[in-house]
Amino acid sequence: MIRHLYFCAFLALLPLFGFGQTFGIVIHGGAGNGINPEQLKGEKAEAYDTALNNAIRFGYSLLEDGMDAVSVVEAVIVELENNPLFNAGLGAVANANNEVFHDASIMRGSDLNAGAVANVFGPKNPIQAAIAVMDKSKHVLLSGRGAEAFSASQNVRMLSEADKTNYIQAAPQPKVSKKGTVGCVVLDMYGDLAAGTSTGGTAKKLPGRVGDSPIIGAGTWADNRSCAVSATGDGEYFIRTGAAQYVGSSMRMLELDLQTAIESSIVEIDELGGEGGLIGIDKHGNIGWHFNTKGMFRAAHTSEMPKPLVEMFSK
């Protein structure tokens, strides 16, 4: 009897030490109708494929090493923010005044704590500013100069004036809004979920505009009771529908599986006339994504998969 009790206790503790717990990561690099085989091919397509492969393999290796979910989300999004291929950090697009501003958010599924920054141009990696808000303040969302000052006070690496000039000069201004927001959702080997999203917003947006990326429940959501989700696309529609939290709530209250819940959220956005996509991972390590555009940069790797899955176009 005593041996049986010890054995049961041992089994119960295995997930705490990373044994028997499925873990994984899903990332996105934006969704849009410009992501299609006709317009995106050759060296440019190869560049995106390489970037997605590098990011997903990097994040998965950190999970294998035992890193916690929030830290993996941070590391991977920093990697994507530093890549000018994506509309976040270094690759952020300019607004109507030829200014660059960043939005980012992070959420931890174990305690529903979250942090976000909006309309900032100072932190080199906006996701790290969002994490500072979550961990070092009693607030969830800081914006503008206040967010920049707080970030600097918390030793978040800031852009120099020369860096800012380079960011503005390099900012693309396409005729249509670039949907290259980046996001990352993670289930670590300890059973904890986290989600993060970072963006430069839409090209030629009105000064002061804030999309869904820094809005908890719209662009980012993580709850250990259900799933972790990150969004990309027409932010206004994701805000109006509470798209990211909708997925988690549908799983908990309606008992939908992750993929069905994601698809249901995108259907609602589609019916309103919005475009974009969602990625997610649930508490069991199941992955899901769905979008109503011609393509979405996306990749996934879990401990149940033999190798990473990287895709760009719709099937």
CATH number of the CATH domain containing 76: 3.60.20.30
Whether 293 is catalytic: no
12 found inside a domain: no
In whole angstroms, give the CA distance from residue 76 to residue 54. 10
- Residue 130 covered by a domain: yes
Inside any domain, residue 179: yes
Whether 6 maps to a domain, the answer reads no
- DSSP string over 50-110: HHHHHHHHHHHHHHHTT--HHHHHHHHHHHHHT-TTSSSGGGPPP-TTS---EEEEEEETT
Domain membership flag for residue 59: yes
Total domains in the fold of the chain: 1
**What domain range is 46 assigned to?**
22-284+297-313
Q: Which pLDDT does position 180 carry in this prediction?
A: 86
Q: How many CA atoms lie within 13 A of 203 on its CB side?
A: 14
Q: Say what percent of the chain tops pLDDT 90.
A: 87
Tell whether pTM > 0.85. yes
Cα–Cα distance measured from residue 79 to residue 64, given in angstroms and rounded to the nearest whole number: 18
Task: From the candidates 165, 181, 260, 302, give the one annotated as an active-site residue.
Answer: 181
Averaged pLDDT, 271-283: 98
Residue 3 is assigned to a structural domain of this protein: no
Q: Does any domain span residue 247?
A: yes
In this prediction, residues 4-22 reach a mean pLDDT of 54
Per residue in 287-306, pLDDT (tens digit) is 999 999 999 999 999 999 99
Closest CA to 106 of 66, 145, 75, 67: 75
Question: Is residue 292 situated within a structural domain?
Answer: no
